[in-house]
Structure 1
Amino acid sequence: MKRKLWLICLIVVMVTSSLAGCGKTEQKDEGQLSEKNTGNENTDTNADKTADNDVVEITIAYPSDDGAQEKLDTLIGEFNKEYPNIHVNCVFIPFSSWPDYITKVKTMVAGGTAPDVLRLAVEGIQTFVKDGLAMPFDDFMQENPELLEELGVNDIHQNINAPFQIDGKTYGFAWDWNNIVMFLNKDLFEEKGIALPEKSWNKDDFLKIAQQLTGEKDGQKIYGTVAPIDYFTVTAWLYNNNASVLNEDMTKCTLNSAEAVDTIQFLYDLVYKYEVAPSPSAGLDTSNLFMNGQIGMIGNGRWSIASLANNGFENYDIQVLPALSTQQSAFGSGSFPVLSTTEHPYEAMLFSSWLSASSFSQETFLKTDSVPSRISVMEKILPSMLPENGMIWRESADVAKTIQAPSQLTDLTAIYDKYMSLIFANEISVEEGLQKATEEIDALLAD
């Protein structure tokens, strides 16, 4: 921890400059937010329940992506129609990755300016629970069953919510989720006279189609597919070969297993042996290449639909990833945990639950960015929008397996990224790179 103190000091400055207000409250910077206790002393979530004529202020931290403030303004405005006595301040944190975002939030906590509610993905919940920074919802759930039923919490898919249930306790409710599916450029398939793959397709079917799609047109290289190297997407391919980055209890790295090596070797061979995928490199915009008709198949999540729609690209469909030795969907989900430093647990958990589960929240903002967590909302929205095969997401929810996100994820992914980059830059073999990654990750987990 000592070696990270210098980084924390720098991030304090960065976070302080990024704060903005939303909802009905005035803009606040980090120094103006009230300092909260650092212990989790108040376990009665109804003890601070607001009287009808009292006003309570709480704060939510949220990634500062495009449209975030407008989105939260709309959500808070609707929330205040039902709960006008809860004023919500917003802190927008510059976002480049979940590990970076998590570090910045922890810096706020260390500086005494912790938010009450936090937008967080599965990539961060383990570390917040381990550090005692997340407050369990169990007492709130037991004390307010009718409220949760009314909000729609009981309609949230249990499998999608599972990442926020740790050691028998619940730390929030899933709002949205994503898994990796194969996006198919129907223009290229039609030009080549290739039928779209069925759900039962396998590794050989995938490679054959990728080879048929690969070629040249008007002097431009056309690739059949893309070879992913990022942690989330590669995890999906590993799961499809009965492999994973870590063992089941996330105490050991298994990237050196025969199944994992075979999976990464196949992805590597898509580039260097079969030549059906471009070499992964910084700045390679595979999404634009897909829309421009230069890539036929790309593994991606529902988050890419907004970009496709904004660019007027509609002639596409999706399919599950091809089976290698099995077919297993990998997913990540997001929620709104309440920090243990909050002075208003009831109001914070009420707001969190409303954000996660209300029909307004899910139906208004989960049409193109993510998949809704509520079963009824999935079944309402997915059949009415592109892609035509969108109900794959509803089917996947029943069998999807969450990505592995231990409390050491930030350092783990740094090691993973280093060796995947070396492998695909041809500076180290697949087998040697994964062995070295395994050794370093094992040392990290043991420490």
Structure 2
Amino acid sequence: MKKALFIAAALSLSVASAATTIDYATWDGTRQQADEALIAAFNKSQPEIQVKYNLVPWGVYWQKAAAMVSGGSTYDVMWMNLDNFPFYQSQGALSPIKLDAKTTAALPSVRTAPYKVSNQLYGVPLGPQPVTVYINRSLFKERGVPIPTKSWTFDQMVDAAKKLTFKKGNQQIYGINGADLQADLEYGMSFYFGAGGKGLIKKSGDSYTANLDATFAKTSQQLLDLIYKDKVAPGPQAASQQGYQMFLAGQMGILVQGSWMVSTWDQNKELDWAFAPFPSVNGLQPHPVVSAHALVVPTGSKNKDAAQSFITWMNTSPQAQRMLAQRGLLPTLAENYKSQYLQALPGRNAQTVFAQLPNSVVINSNLRSLKVLPEVLTVLGQKMNLAWTGNAKLPDAISQATSEMDNLLKTAK
């Protein structure tokens, strides 16, 4: 009996020592608890592969990602966003991901398509991550503002924000997080696409040009007015906290953010929050943005097979899908786990999140081969930020951005 136990223990130790360890890196701290739970479940289900979790701050993350280009040591699985993907893929820093036919068929092609180059897949999006609208129902009720549950317009949202901007004792309450709604970034771009926008870069044949047209200018002005004209959002001088922090503290009535923030609101048990439908602009159907962040395998990884096994499990295994949905996060196969998602968020009007998915937009999805995309978007962001912080007039910022974007795009192939 003792000999049998000894052999079993020796075999167990041998398996453990033979396990392949892979490093998984992400910048998204809002998912930390969910990610750690997923990794624990994966490690248990596939003991031959052990995953190590690395949460890296945004700025530091991209510094470390530079090692992918130089071929230096790096992580085995990393998060990637669409804005940076063309650069890293074009530099040969990402390894093709080979999935079996069953897995490929299960993944929604609308989400994997932006990460395909020359019919090879280089990234697998980890769930749809739509831009959504949150409201503080307590403030809505306190100020007598109707709570939107199925639909509302941009003008109604602005009217609500005006009523939700008031003094409560010595505390300033704001209507909305206007500082986050820069029109060239995902939250503000959701209004731009809803107003009929077609994209900030136009492709004609093999050439590209900036497309900061009248729709972009009008949408930008409407969003900028929330800060400087309507005064329903804190400006750069008035904001001692970020918008999500003010919403969490009960100091903001409307927050345009991502669907991934739900775990953050649990930090304030008294916060009576709910999803609201995305507002329509000019009577048009809303087209909010979906952030298609994906899992990628750097070329420098020494454990590519194990990395791909982990990616496949994260995106398609029923266990992983259920775990995400039960935590109020949309899994990759979101539509298949709608009931679990809604059950995790009772009374939060979460059905509006699913209602907007069919009409959501993946930004820059047609620009996957544009190697200079990160530089172009950086220039655009810098110029628009001057307007948002009150350091430039909006028409001047748009004019300067157009000129500098076009200069960069002239070199694009």
TM-score, normalising length: structure 1 = 0.75
Report the aligned-residue RMSD. 3.2
CA distance in 2, matches of 1:131, 1:355: 26
- Cα shift readout 1:270-328 (whole Å, capped 9, x = no counterpart): 12222222214564332232244432111011232212111214412112332224310
CA distance in 2, matches of 1:145, 1:54: 32
- Cα shift readout 1:339-383 (whole Å, capped 9, x = no counterpart): 334455433322221122223323334555742221212342234
1:162-241 matches, within 5 Å, as 162-227=113-178, 228-230=180-182, 231-241=185-195
Aligned partner of 1:415: which letter? V
Greater mean alpha carbon deviation, residues 171-180 or residues 63-72: 63-72
Q: How much has 1:69 moved relative to structure 2?
A: 8.0
CA distance in 1, matches of 2:86, 2:395: 30
Cross-structure match for 2:25: 62
1:227-266 matches, within 5 Å, as 227=178, 228-230=180-182, 231-243=185-197, 244-247=199-202, 251-255=208-212, 257-266=213-222
- Tell me if structure 2 keeps the 8 A contact 1:213–1:223: yes
Say whether 1:94 aligns with 2:56.
Answer: yes
Cross-structure match for 2:342: 382
CA distance in 2, matches of 1:71, 1:186: 26
- Tell me if structure 1 keeps the 8 A contact 2:164–2:253: yes
1:198-347 matches, within 5 Å, as 198-227=149-178, 228-230=180-182, 231-243=185-197, 244-247=199-202, 251-255=208-212, 257-281=213-237, 283-325=240-282, 326=284, 327-342=286-301, 344-347=303-306
SS of 1:119 mapped into structure 2:
strand
CA distance in 2, matches of 1:251, 1:366: 40
Aligned partner of 2:399: which letter? Q
Aligned partner of 1:286: which letter? G
Q: How much has 1:386 moved relative to structure 2?
A: 4.8
1:23-172 matches, within 5 Å, as 55=18, 57=20, 59-63=22-26, 74-88=37-51, 90=52, 92=54, 94-97=56-59, 101-137=61-97, 140-141=98-99, 144-146=100-102, 148=103, 154-172=105-123
Aligned partner of 1:423: which letter? A
CA distance in 1, matches of 2:30, 2:141: 36
SS of 1:322 mapped into structure 2:
coil
CA distance in 1, matches of 2:34, 2:151: 39
Return 5+ residue gaps in structure 2 as ranges.
1-14
CA distance in 1, matches of 2:242, 2:302: 45
Task: Label 1:373 to 1:65 Cα distance change in 2 as closer, same or farther (>3 A).
Answer: closer
Identical pairs, percent: 22
- Tell me if structure 2 keeps the 8 A contact 1:314–1:386: no
Cross-structure match for 1:31: none
- Tell me if structure 2 keeps the 8 A contact 1:199–1:320: yes
SS of 2:280 mapped into structure 1:
coil
CA distance in 1, matches of 2:30, 2:131: 24
SS of 1:224 mapped into structure 2:
strand
Say whether 1:426 aligns with 2:390.
Answer: yes
- Tell me if structure 1 keeps the 8 A contact 2:176–2:255: yes
CA distance in 1, matches of 2:361, 2:386: 28
Aligned match for 1:437, one of 392, 395, 401: 401
- Tell me if structure 2 keeps the 8 A contact 1:412–1:444: yes
Q: How many residues align?
A: 383
Greater mean alpha carbon deviation, residues 269-278 or residues 153-162: 153-162
Aligned partner of 2:120: which letter? K
